[in-house]
Chains A and B, each alone.
Chain A
Amino acid sequence: MANAQAVVGKPDQDFVEGNLVVRHSLSIRVAHWWVAVFFILAFLSGAALYSPRFFFLTNLFGGGYTARQLHPWFSVLFTLGFVPLFLRWVNQMAWTDSDANWVKNFKRYMRYEEIPDVGKFNAGQKLFFWAAVLGGLVLLLSGVVIWFPTSFPLWLRYLSYPLHEILFILFGIAIIYHIYITLFALGGTLRAMTRGTVTKNWASSHHPRWYDEVRRKG
């Protein structure tokens, strides 16, 4: 892997190497785990302030005061990591006809039936990406208002608190399934984000069109 990337002119991902396919470049994996870490930190410190049921989580951050101080900085660091991820992925996240077909076959996908004509990212991943971008933007903007409440008019604060909370809940649901899918449901998926590689069988099962493209390139 490391050697392959060092070869000048060779792409950093989307190529076959032995029995494996390189799915995510090292830089993308680093960015992913960067946002993952700060998402979890922001999520836990945020959950602590979301409900008294979860206030005990402030203990992870040195108490309520420090949790409140750290929470916005976690999200700033999250955003910093999300920018390169966004730039790298945005072109591949465009909606196509085959995505509409995937959505139609969502029930089959849930039953682990293979869906034909799926590129590097399936429609579910694309929707997750765009939901994260838009939702993240709303979280960020409402979060800035909550960060510096006295700098903003009252109506904007009245709007920001519940919006921030709604987005927190939606992200909570999203992250539960994101983790479930990669860690438990889809075997062989997690390694795409750790070592960066997947097996050829995985590639042709989950993303057949992407695998064909990669194979044709050689």
Chain B
Amino acid sequence: MPSNMEIRRISATLSPSTGVRETPKVAKLIDTTTCIGCKACEVACQEWNDLQSEETQQFGTYQTLPDLTPNFWNLIRFNEHEEDGQFAWLMRKDQCMHCEDPGCLKACPAPGAIVQYNNGIVDFNQANCIGCGYCISGCPFDVPRLNAKSGKVYKCTLCSDRVSVGLEPACIKACPTGCLQFGTKGNLLDIAEKRVGQLKAQGFKNAIVYDPKGVGGTNVITILAYGDRPELYGGLPKDPKVPAYLGLMKVVLKPLGNLLMLLSVVGAFAHFMRFGKREDHE
């Protein structure tokens, strides 16, 4: 395994993960302000990942499909926005955000079905996936999709197969405007902050780099001109968090439940040692 693909976290696994090397975090930068909505990234994603093409639908927008599907991992969401007499097209690349603290991985009950590499990529291993859909509920961005045919869940891999051999993801390679960039997260954050500075100078005073802290930050970061209202961009959550029920189940319920069930067995055995078998009167 290449050193940048060492595993940092594994779903439903009690043993420590394998990663010991210090490797940089990779990231994808999406600049929604320079996206022209050409959809080259959508096509590149479909092609590189050999995904079946989805039938497009006309629903009153240039958006290819209403939503992500198990065969469509990269969707440019088109939203029309009017403010102060100005019309703007807000286009946002919807895909797996590759969270630092992935809710999907936390929710997953199948050992090894979801892994997080040292470089920050969160990847599904369909061979280990049991199709329960827990990750779908655990994801704060509503990204994973269950394929009815295989019964497994799919999403953007950040082209982990390409990244592992030193190539950028397919969508990055296809982007004609450079609104998509790939690199180490530190570098991209610098670039993004510079761009946000430009936007602010242009009057977009709420411009931000979307790198939400509620999920520990993401390895797909997005520049938003209207950073105070990320919902405008096809429902990007303002303050996404790893759902609290996952912590309740993992930290409280599982250890407590195991302890209580164990104590019940011990209690029953203790009762038997003290009182034995009840005999009936004659």
Contact = CB atoms under 8 A, between A and B. Distances in A.
Interface of A: 49-53, 55, 58, 63-65, 67-69, 110-112, 114, 146, 149-150, 154, 157-159, 161-162, 165-166, 168-169, 172-173, 176-177, 180, 184-188, 199, 201-202, 204-206
B136 interface: yes
Contact of B111 (A52, A169, A187): A52
B249 interface: yes
Contact of A201 (B14, B248, B260, B281): B281
B250 to A, nearest CB: 10
A139 to B, nearest CB: 14
Interface in B120-155: 128-134, 136-137, 146, 151
Contacts of A112: 275, 278
A187 B277 contact: yes
B38 interface: no
Contacts of A55: 12, 109-111
Contacts of A63: 130
17 contacts: A50-B109, A53-B258, A64-B110, A64-B130, A65-B131, A67-B130, A69-B131, A110-B275, A114-B281, A150-B133, A165-B253, A169-B253, A169-B256, A177-B264, A185-B275, A187-B278, A202-B280
B222 to A, nearest CB: 22
B272 interface: yes
B265 interface: yes
Interface of A is mostly: helix
A169 B261 contact: yes
Which 9 pairs from chain A and chain B are nearest by CB?
A64-B130, A169-B257, A180-B268, A205-B280, A201-B280, A52-B12, A149-B133, A176-B264, A49-B109
A186 B14 contact: no
B279 interface: yes
Nearest to B265: A176
A162 B13 CA distance: 20
A3 B84 CA distance: 90
A173 B249 contact: no
Contacts of B275: 110-112, 185
B162 interface: no
B257 A50 contact: yes
B137 A185 contact: no
Given A112-B278, A185-B272, A166 B130 contact: no
Given A173-B261, A186-B278, A65 B130 contact: yes
B81 interface: no
A52 B13 contact: yes
Contacts of A67: 130
A204 B281 contact: yes
A176 B261 contact: yes
B264 A173 contact: yes
B268 to A, nearest CB: 4
B282 interface: yes
A177 B13 CA distance: 30
A81 B240 CA distance: 43
B272 A180 contact: yes
Contacts of A110: 271, 275
Given A55-B12, A158-B137, A204-B281, A185 B271 contact: yes
B137 A149 contact: yes
B243 interface: yes
Nearest to A161: B245
B243 to A, nearest CB: 6
B278 A176 contact: no
A168 B133 contact: no
B278 A162 contact: no
A157 B248 contact: no
B200 interface: no
Contacts of A166: 253
Candidate in B129, B243, B253 with the most chain A CB atoms within 10 angstroms = B253
A159 to B, nearest CB: 8
Interface string B241-255: 001110011000110
B258 A51 contact: yes
A55 to B, nearest CB: 6
A206 B281 CA distance: 10
A68 B131 CA distance: 7
A135 to B, nearest CB: 14
